[in-house]
Amino acid sequence: MVMADLMRKTEEEWKKDLTPEQYHTLREKGTDAPFTGEYWNEHGKGMYVCAACGTELFSSDTKFDSGTGWPSFTDTVNLEHVELRDDLSGGMQRTEVICKKCGSHLGHLYMDGPKEKGGKRFCINSSCLTLKKSAE
Ligand code: FE
């Protein structure tokens, strides 16, 4: 992704364009309550895009039931579309997942995912995603 593709808005603009719930997760690094939200138990086919900017992030083909109550994926559709950043907040050592295009928080990456699929678990907030369902 080149610099010209980046989307940057002021926090005032984000506040106007997002729901309060989305603003909290995407812009204030909040976390959806587990087993709530639109997608933790969604099994439809399609592409999950960034709820803030529409960048393609995760294919439903990589979604799996992690039991955590959050939408979980074994991989991104393109690693270039996300930024991974060390996150030491809350006394934990975690890897934050950020939308590279708009700089919004998406969730975290853990390495306790399905081993046969590479071991990654992208734990992403429903409120940070929009599922574009594929025609069936
Ligand atoms: Fe985005």
Using CA atoms, how far apart are residues 19 and 48, in angstroms rounded to an integer? 18
Given a cut of 80, whether residue 67 has pLDDT beyond it is yes
Ligand 1 centroid to 43 CA: how many Å? Answer: 22
Give the contacts of 89 (CB within 8 A, at least 6 positions apart). 29
- What pLDDT is stored for residue 86 in this prediction? 97
Model confidence, pTM = 0.94
CA distance 110 to 123: 7
- The reply to whether CATH 2.170.150.20 applies to domain 3-133 is yes
123: annotated active-site residue = yes
Query: What is the per-residue pLDDT for 5?
Result: 79
Order of strands across the sheet with 129-133?
A: 56-59, 46-50, 129-133
| pLDDT of res. 1 | 62
Strand order in the sheet with 63-64: 63-64, 72-73, 121-124, 105-110, 94-99, 82-87
> Tens digits of per-residue pLDDT, 20-65?
999 999 999 999 999 999 999 999 999 999 999 999 999 999 999 9
C-alpha of residue 105 to centroid of ligand 1, in Å: 8
Q: 124 CA distance to ligand 1 centroid (A)?
A: 13
Model pLDDT for residues 73-106, shown as the tens digit of each residue: 999 999 999 999 999 998 999 999 999 999 999 9
